[in-house]
Amino acid sequence: MPQRILQRAAGGALLSGLLLVLRGRHDDGDGAVPLNTISHWVWPDSAFHARGLSVRHTATGALIHFGASCFWSVIFEGRRLLRPARAPEPSVREVLRDALALSAAAAWVDLALVPPALSPGFERRLSGSSLCRVYLAFAAGLALGELWPAAARPQRPARRLSGPHPSAPAAPLLDEQRAA
């Protein structure tokens, strides 16, 4: 489970981070600006004015962005807990549907629900169209992170338990077994 969460978080963070850089370059002329603004959680006085790559703003923003992706990936994992135990793996369509729904929820929380001090910050520097693309990329990354290991991992046959576990204590013999 933790590997799945990290794979989805990495997929979501990488694809949405790539769109943040591309759309930052398009909307603001500097690809680092959207990541820099995320660092306003740590550097509230300077994050919105920081331009160019820097450890202080860009690296901090990227780490916070990855942390947020991990948070949403844990929420995404929760949908597995709601499925019946013997349910088959979700289809590609179900994974895409769930990823889009979660990304829409993340956008609503990030852009409308939380106070400005807890918002991502990049919404102040990107157009509405760019924000939509960033959250769609996040959904695509979540879905790819979910589907990638399913395609790459070898199918394991189901384990059959034919008897007691080797470390289990031996069962006492019944009188009929001793007489035989």
Range in 75-79, 154-158, 176-180 with the lowest mean pLDDT: 154-158
Tokens in use for 64?
Answer: 């916070």
Reported as a single tens digit per residue, the pLDDT across 20-57 is: 999 999 999 999 999 999 999 999 999 999 999 999 99
How large is the average pLDDT for residues 125-138? Answer: 97
pLDDT at 152 over 60: no
Rounded mean pLDDT of the chain?
Answer: 87
How large is the average pLDDT for residues 4-24? Answer: 95
Reported as a single tens digit per residue, the pLDDT across 60-91 is: 999 999 999 999 999 999 887 888 878 888 89
Cβ neighbour number for residue 111 with a 10 Å cutoff: 15
Q: Which is more confident, 1 or 89?
A: 89
The conformation of residue 58, written as its DSSP 8-state character, comes to: I
CA of residue 142 relative to chain centroid, distance: 5
- Rg of the chain in Å (alpha carbons): 24
Judged by DSSP in three states, 161 sits in coil
